[in-house]
Amino acid sequence: MKNIFTIIKKEFSRFFKDKRMVITVLLPGLLIFAVYSLMGTVFSGMESVDENYKPKAYIVAAPQNLEETFSSILEITEKPSLEEAKKAVTEGELDIVVVFPSDFSQTIGTATPPDVKIFYNSAERNSVYGYTFVTAVLGQINTSAFTVNAASDKFDLATGRDITGNLMSTIMPMLMFALLASGCIAVAPESIAGEKERGTMATMLITPIRRVELALGKIISLTCFALLSGISSFLGVILSLPKLMGGMVGAEAAAFYSVGDYFMVLAIIISVVLVIISAFSVVSAYAKSVKEAGSLISPLMILVIVLGMATMFFAGNVPHVAIYIVPLLGSGLAMSSIMSFSVNPLGFALSIISNLVITAAFVVLLAFMFKSEKIMFKK
């Protein structure tokens, strides 16, 4: 254990004396532009709904001439009251509520046209689909004869919490994976491949230190540096929520998440950094120079970002809890569930455990590489 702390102390000293490296880690936004560009492409496909899906609707006082039309395109449900139906829309159990005025047929075309009210939840894509569908049908009748949602009521029943959860669960895994990977690639090659180039690694390897201790010391210290990048990025996203969401939620957006939620996200970030930094360290140990290490790590970095993006396509619906076992992908799904306020405790635990297991495997592999003169001192 003493040897591990010695390695960590040495790495910390080297890191904090290099101002450029500190700045690189604390300002990990170099990939944000590319990531947001990819997000726009993915978002365009995420809003699609199954073409055979029939929105669930609660309709009040539907005119007889529209009952058949609505029955063919909507799944009409019954609720005890209008308020219960609106509550169901807010909770995602119902897609839309359509309220026709009792004198709809008699007042069409009069000086005071009737107003049809359509309540929906913009945080649920099926609800938005239903809203669009019904307004399109009503638009085919005669839009000048009546109005839709002309009253001052609040028709979008999604809460600020719903909107925050919907957005954060979508962007957070991909954004964090990209920023964590960029933080790791800034420190891993220099720590191992850089020392091989400078010759200090050879000196370290001839000391009576166990190779596993050397590997652990390297990975733990590099993880601390990369965590600075991850935590600063996470705090930046959370604190910028009001601006990020275009004013859809207020300054209290960060308060939607509990202390427990933040600790769970931190646990995921730590486990993800351990996997990424250990994988990058193995590649760095194999490379002959920092330049070669950077080139070899680039494909791994792309893979990490793709795994972060892959969580978007689950849209909060994980087919089986076993998927959480997949390293990194499971972590992204767990992070997404936390951000959407629907955390799966077993899935969260499995994602952490799988990351720790693969990290342990990388540590053993790195220790083996440190023992191999053919790998460490190849020309």
**Could you tell me if residue 51 is inside a domain?**
no
Domain housing 99? 56-158
How far apart CA 17 and CA 245 sit, in angstroms, is 38
Helix (H) or strand (E) holding 109: none
Tell me, yes or no, whether 308 and 353 share the same domain.
yes
Higher pLDDT, residue 25 or 54: 54
Query: What percentage of the chain carries pLDDT values higher than 90?
Result: 15
Q: What pLDDT does 120 receive? A: 92
**Could you tell me if residue 243 is inside a domain?**
yes
Q: What pLDDT does 183 receive? A: 78
pLDDT digits (tens, 9 = 90+) for 209-248: 787 888 888 888 888 877 777 777 667 666 665 555 544 4
Q: What pLDDT does 211 receive? A: 79
Mean pLDDT of the chain: 78
**Could you tell me if residue 61 is inside a domain?**
yes
User: Could you tell me the pLDDT band of residue 29, with boundaries at 50, 70 and 90?
Assistant: very low
pLDDT digits (tens, 9 = 90+) for 74-107: 888 888 889 999 999 998 889 999 998 888 877 7
CA angle 191, 195, 199 (to 5 degrees): 170
How far apart CA 340 and CA 126 sit, in angstroms, is 17
Tell me, yes or no, whether 7 and 134 share the same domain.
no
* Final residue in a domain of this structure, among 138, 158, 178: 158
Neighbours of 211 (CB within 10 A): 16
Tally of structural domains, the chain: 2
Tell me, yes or no, whether 170 and 152 share the same domain.
no
Q: What pLDDT does 261 receive? A: 87
Tell me, yes or no, whether 107 and 203 share the same domain.
no
* Final residue in a domain of this structure, among 103, 126, 158: 158
Query: Is 310 a residue whose pLDDT tops 80?
Result: yes
Q: What pLDDT does 349 receive? A: 94
Tell me, yes or no, whether 140 and 281 share the same domain.
no
Mapped onto helix, strand or coil, the DSSP state of residue 116 is strand
Tell me, yes or no, whether 338 and 196 share the same domain.
yes
Query: Is 313 a residue whose pLDDT tops 80?
Result: no
Q: What pLDDT does 1 receive? A: 66
Q: What pLDDT does 142 receive? A: 56
What is the mean pLDDT of the segment spanning 315-321? 75
**Could you tell me if residue 171 is inside a domain?**
yes
pLDDT digits (tens, 9 = 90+) for 257-271: 788 888 898 899 889
Tell me, yes or no, whether 247 and 178 share the same domain.
yes
Query: Is 52 a residue whose pLDDT tops 50?
Result: yes
* Final residue in a domain of this structure, among 158, 177, 196: 158
Tell me, yes or no, whether 88 and 150 share the same domain.
yes
Q: What pLDDT does 145 receive? A: 62
Which pair of tokens denotes residue 248?
Answer: 């859809």
**Could you tell me if residue 97 is inside a domain?**
yes
**Could you tell me if residue 289 is inside a domain?**
yes
Tell me, yes or no, whether 173 and 265 share the same domain.
yes
How far apart CA 63 and CA 178 sit, in angstroms, is 53
**Could you tell me if residue 50 is inside a domain?**
no
Query: Is 159 a residue whose pLDDT tops 50?
Result: yes
Q: Can you give the C-alpha Rg of the chain in angstroms?
A: 27
Tell me, yes or no, whether 9 and 66 share the same domain.
no
Tell me, yes or no, whether 185 and 327 share the same domain.
yes
For residue 118, the cross-strand partners are 98
Tell me, yes or no, whether 308 and 219 share the same domain.
yes
